[in-house]
Amino acid sequence: MKYLKDSDPRFRMLGWRAGSFALLALGLMLALVVALGLRQGYFVQKTRLNFVAENGAGLLPGMQVRLSGFKIGVVDTVALGESAKVDVELLVETRYMKWVKADSQAILQQDGFLGDHFIEIVGGSPKLPPAQDGAKLNFAPALGLADIALDLRQRIIPIIDSTQTTLEYINDPKGDVRQMLGNLKELSAEVRQTRAAVDALLAKADRVADKQVPATLEAAQRTLERADRTLADVQGRLPGVFDQLDRTMGHAAQAASEAAAVMGATRHIVDEAAPRVPGILRNGDATLRTTRELLDGASQSWPLKNWMQPPAASAPMPDSRQ
């Protein structure tokens, strides 16, 4: 039963009107989606590239791929591969592929300290043809300060261990070095004794009478024989001492070469990191300044200004009681 009569002319063809309105709205929405999609590059031809990363930290699907600071694509997938490494696939707009070469590198970068991560494509030999669809790029994770510190630590600790071992070896009372020094000391004492005996004998020779000459000569003969035995003993021991000395010098040379290698590596790391340090500091300074300004601004806005006591814009006046 119909309770209301559609006599009002405004209700005529209401269904058509509502339908056309809905269609118009749908059409506008679709146009908007298409426009946004075009703007985002969804309908642009893309080339698929990939690389393998050791670690998936900072890598996310959807993150930007940039070339010379401009967005040229996005990360499509990030997946854990068979060898527990991370397979990353990139979609790069084909029109930019002329600058992406087979030997280009993908570097994980970050906007400032707090900004988003992105992949920067760098390098590439100009003479090489553009990378093909499915080409594999080399990946270089960007070293942060923490990574540099960790790397330095890993390289320096073996040096310290090696130096400590060498020092312990040198200081060991039963070790070659200490024994060799002890032997040398003993030998030198014996030689001094012999020399003292010879000196005494010669001094005595001046005073001896003719009748004492044979006895003196006999004593001199004995002393010389003893000196001869001592020298023979020294001669016998010297090769051993030299061997020990040689081994010790070998250990020392090994430790020194290890230290030199590690210092070289350290210098290489520092050389790599040094050019980035001013930039990092500058970025950090700018970030801190911006953060401070943001906080200042926020603290003066509702509702934070009701919760925080705003700092004065002039110098505080000291109390008369100070």
Partner 1 sequence: MFKCLYMLLPATLLLAACGGAPLAPKPARLQAAEAAVLAANRATQSGADADASHYWREAWQAYASIDDWGGQGEARLGLANSLVRQGERDEAVRILASMRGNELFSADLRARATYQQALLQLATPDLAKASLAQARALCGAACGWVARLDNLQARLAVQGGDYAGAGALLTRVLAAPGLPGGERAHALRLMAEVALHDGALADARQRIDAAIVLDRQLAEPAYLVDDYVFLRRYAAAAGDEVLRTEAGQRLQSLCAVFSSAACSGN
Would you count residue 8 as binding partner 1 (CB under 8 A)?
Answer: no
Token readout for 185 is 């000391």
Rounded-to-integer distance, Cα 294 and Cα 238, Å:
79
CA distance between the termini of the chain: 92
Q: What gap in Å lies between CA 118 and CA 68, rounded to an integer?
A: 12
When asked if residue 9 is in the footprint of partner 1 (CB under 8 A), the reply is: no
Complete edge-to-edge strand list for the sheet that includes strand 46-53: 135-136, 46-53, 86-93, 70-80, 64-67, 117-122, 105-110, 138-141
Q: Which is nearer to partner 1, 15 or 316 (CB)?
A: 316
The answer to whether residue 303 forms part of the interface with partner 1 (CB under 8 A) is no
Rounded to a whole number of angstroms, the minimum distance from the CB of residue 282 to partner 1 is 15
Distance CA 273, CA 204 (A): 77
Strands 46-53, 86-93: pairing is: antiparallel
Minimum separation from the CB atom of position 19 to partner 1 (A): 20
User: How big is the site for partner 1, counted in residues (CB under 8 A)?
Assistant: 17
Under the binding rule (CB under 8 A), the answer on residue 306 touching partner 1 is no
- What span, in angstroms and rounded, lies between the C-alpha atoms of 139 and 17? 58
| Site for partner 1 contains 289 (CB under 8 A) | yes
The tally of CA atoms less than 13 A away on the side-chain side of residue 243 is 5
Tokens 């749908």 belong to 26
Q: Is 314 in the site for partner 1 (CB under 8 A)?
A: yes
Among 293, 298, 302, 307, binds partner 1 (CB under 8 A): 293
Give the one residue of 7, 154, 301, 320 binding partner 1; rule: CB under 8 A: 320
- Does 311 bind partner 1 (CB under 8 A)? Our answer is yes
Q: With CB under 8 A as the contact rule, which of the stretches 44-52, 169-177, 279-287, 306-314 interacts with partner 1?
A: 306-314
User: Which region, judged by CB under 8 A, interacts with partner 1, from 90-98, 101-109, 110-118, 305-313?
Assistant: 305-313
Sign of torsion over alpha carbons 152, 158, 161, 167: negative
**Cα–Cα distance measured from residue 92 to residue 194, given in angstroms and rounded to the nearest whole number:** 90
315 forms part of the interface with partner 1 (CB under 8 A): yes
Whole-number minimum distance, CB 311 to partner 1, in Å? Answer: 4
Q: Is 317 in the site for partner 1 (CB under 8 A)?
A: yes
Shortest reach from residue 154's CB to partner 1, in Å: 36
> Mask of contacts with partner 1, 247-286, x by CB under 8 A?
----------------------------------------
CB 187 within 8 A of CB 237: yes
Q: What does the binding site for partner 1 look like in residue numbers (CB under 8 A)?
A: 289, 292-293, 296, 309, 311-322
